[in-house]
Structures are given as C-alpha cells and as structure tokens.
Amino acid sequence: MYSTLSKAPRLVRLLPLLVFLGACATGAIREKQLTLPVIDGATPVGQQVCLECHEGVGAGIHAHLTDFQTMGGTTGCEACHGGGSLHVDADGDKILKFAELRPEESAAVCAKCHSGGKLMDWTHSEHALVDVACTDCHSVHAGGKVALKKQDPELCFDCHQEQMAQSNFPSHHPVKEGKMTCGDCHNPHGDLNTDELARDLCLDCHARHQGPFIFEHAPVEEDCTICHNPHGAVASNLLKQNEPFLCLQCHESHFHVTRLGGSVPANNVAFSAYNPDGSLAGTPVAGSGSPPTGGDTTGSVAQGTFVNPADPPATVQISNTLGEHSWQMAFGTRCTVCHLAVHGSDLPSATSPSVNRTPSPLGGIADPGSGDGQGWPSGGLGLTR
C-alpha cells in the first residue's frame, strides 16, 4: 500500500490534504479573497441580533445553513448582508440591501457558495450580459423550489413574452400543460442544458433520432432548429413551415401531377401487392421467359411471359383526376409521406443510388475520366425505407 502511494504523482498524494484543507477553509478563503460588496467598518453581530427586529424573516434554506456547509465562512444573515454592527447603530441603514446592489455585486455574494453545477457558467451567461440580477428571479428569504419568485415557466414568461405566445401555438412542447418547463432545456445561469452540440439537448428525450445512421439527413446532424422551432409553431411537429414548403427551400420538387395532359407508354403499370383492405393480394410470379429485347418479344398473357410492347395503343393518356387543381394538391402533399425516414435510416432506398461520376458509373456511356468529381454524398442516396 505504502509503495503504491509512493509511486503516485505528487499531486495525487497531495489530494487528501487538498480535500481536507478545502473542507475546512473553503468558505473562509472565498470570503477573504473574492471582491465582495461591504459596508466599511461593519463587523458581525450574530444572527440572533438580527432576529430581534427581523423576526420571521428567513424561512427558507438560507436561514438554516450550518458551519458544516459554510466551510469556515460567515453564517446567518451576515453571510450575505455583511456585518450588522453599523446597521444596528444606524437604525436601519448601513447594511447590504440586495435591491440596491448592482447585479454583478449581488451575483458576487451568491457566488461565494453557488459556484458549481449549473451555476458555474453564470458570469458569461446571456442573463448576466444583459444585467439580470440573481434577485430578479430569486427571493432568497423564501422557501419553495430554488427560492424562485414565481414558478417556471410563468417566471420566464414575464420577460420572454414571444415564447409565451409560441407555447400556445397549435404545435408546441407540453409547457403550458405543465409537463415541461423552460428549465428542462435552458440553463438560466448559462446557456442550454448541454455541454455538447445543441442537437444533443433534443436527443435527451428524442433518442430515437440519435443515430448515427447509415443514411443520414445532413441538417438533422447539424442542428434540429434548421427545420424545427422548439418554442412552438403553426405547422405540425414544430416545423418552421408546413411541408412541402419547408423542404422545397433546400430541395427541388418532383411530382407526377406535372404530367397533366401528357401520355406515357402503356407497357408499364402499377400493381399493388396489397388488396384494398390491406391484406396481401395474389402475388405475380416472375417471368419464366426470356427478357424482351429490342421491343420485339412476343408471347401470351399467361403469367410470367411477355407480350409485344409494340402493340397499340403505345401510349396511355393521363387524365389527372384533380385537373387544374393538381398543383394545389401537390402543395398539400407532405414530402415525408414518401421520404418517411427524414431523420435518418439504416435501410436503403428501393433504388440504388447514382454514384460519383468520376468515372461514370454508366458503362454504356463513355467517360474519358474527366468528370467534375462531384457526387452527393458519394452518389445520391435517394429515399430510404
């Protein structure tokens, strides 16, 4: 045992000593070293003296701090309000009053103890930078949850009124239902409740989108707020805009309604593997004959054989059931009906992607190897299932 310790780095060997010294003197050291607001000449008189006049003040946790917690620092009312000797003599004056302190002064007093956990980032938080004081939100003498003046989210909504309105939009997180609070995502003493990328905060609850996926959607990996407004949205699913308009800002549209009035070869039709009631239909059997070549294959219509595709009519007239309103319907179609795995998937599209054109993947087209080297990503990924 001794030999093991003797081989440890000096800092490690000193660790128990540091813990012991810290345990004994942290409060005293911080009071002595930190720049705190003071009343010049005031000295401590003890909490009992304060309570002679201020009876009933301090029902919360701050009134019951022990020496064990203050680690050698001042306890009682004077731990925050400074020495009370002059205050007693000055008949109500000459004491640190938080309502009169500047925000950074009151924060310095609080930071004597509150320097760890979520409070570690206070000095460079957005709230500190816009001159918000600890006492703007906390009522130090009161009890209750972390001595807040109001509960979250009502307290936050006092200033963040646009977010209050957004929390009532048709699509919203369950904040107004009392199932979430602002503090679930935001650290009011810092930034977001994550020390990683912003998307990792969302993934705390929406872990199904964590991945990593084989086929990913770049904006999902970058930042969820590219598509979603977490505070509330008019569109479904907290989307910034309705589909397809949101998607069309980054992708071009494709839709069969554009074929209104056109015609297509008659030799290809769809056949569902399902009956209209959702049960499996009789499954067509793969062809037993040779694949047609050159458009001159003939045969019967028995299953698995081929007919002459040159038989008239060569084309099928498309009669769009929606007529001139087809475009309206296109804009009423959600992209995610087909692109359902928009957050990422491990399963491939039904069709193989085109691959990087350097060189061309198409053996039928000569490519001298001078392709432009583009490719997304290493070939279009297409749909995933």
Interface of this chain with other proteins, residues 227 to 266, rule: CB under 8 A: 236-237, 240-241, 245-246, 248-260, 264-266
Indicate which single residue of 47, 101, 193, 200 sits in contact with other proteins (rule: CB under 8 A): 200
Reference 234, options 174, 168, 171; nearest CA is 171
CA–CA distances in Å: residue 135 to residues 47, 132, 191, 205: 21, 8, 19, 31
Reference 113, options 151, 148, 75; nearest CA is 75
121 burial class (0-12, 13-18, 19+ CB within 10 angstroms)? middle
Q: How far apart are CA 155 and CA 147, in angstroms?
A: 12
Should residue 10 be labelled a site residue for other proteins when binding is judged by CB under 8 A?
A: no
Across the chain, which distance is largest between two alpha carbons, in Å? 114
Residue 43 or residue 317: which is nearer to other proteins going by CB?
317
Should residue 318 be labelled a site residue for other proteins when binding is judged by CB under 8 A?
A: yes
Residue 53 or residue 218: which is nearer to other proteins going by CB?
218
Should residue 57 be labelled a site residue for other proteins when binding is judged by CB under 8 A?
A: no
Should residue 298 be labelled a site residue for other proteins when binding is judged by CB under 8 A?
A: no
Reference 78, options 38, 136, 23; nearest CA is 38
Should residue 222 be labelled a site residue for other proteins when binding is judged by CB under 8 A?
A: yes
Residue 230 or residue 380: which is nearer to other proteins going by CB?
380
Indicate which single residue of 51, 210, 228, 342 sits in contact with other proteins (rule: CB under 8 A): 210
Number of Cβ within a 10 Å radius of residue 48: 9
Element (H, E) at 263: strand 263-265
Smallest gap from Cβ 165 to other proteins, in A, equals: 3
Q: CA geometry: angle at 23 spanning 17 and 28, to 5°?
A: 115
Should residue 47 be labelled a site residue for other proteins when binding is judged by CB under 8 A?
A: no
User: What number of chain residues touch other proteins (CB under 8 A)?
Assistant: 182
Smallest gap from Cβ 377 to other proteins, in A, equals: 6
Should residue 353 be labelled a site residue for other proteins when binding is judged by CB under 8 A?
A: yes
Residue 6 or residue 374: which is nearer to other proteins going by CB?
374
Residue 2 or residue 68: which is nearer to other proteins going by CB?
68
Side chain identity, residue 295:
G
- Give me the residue label for tokens 């006049």: 53
Q: Output DSSP code: residue 310.
A: T
Should residue 348 be labelled a site residue for other proteins when binding is judged by CB under 8 A?
A: yes
Indicate which single residue of 47, 49, 86, 115 sits in contact with other proteins (rule: CB under 8 A): 115
Smallest gap from Cβ 91 to other proteins, in A, equals: 24
Should residue 65 be labelled a site residue for other proteins when binding is judged by CB under 8 A?
A: yes
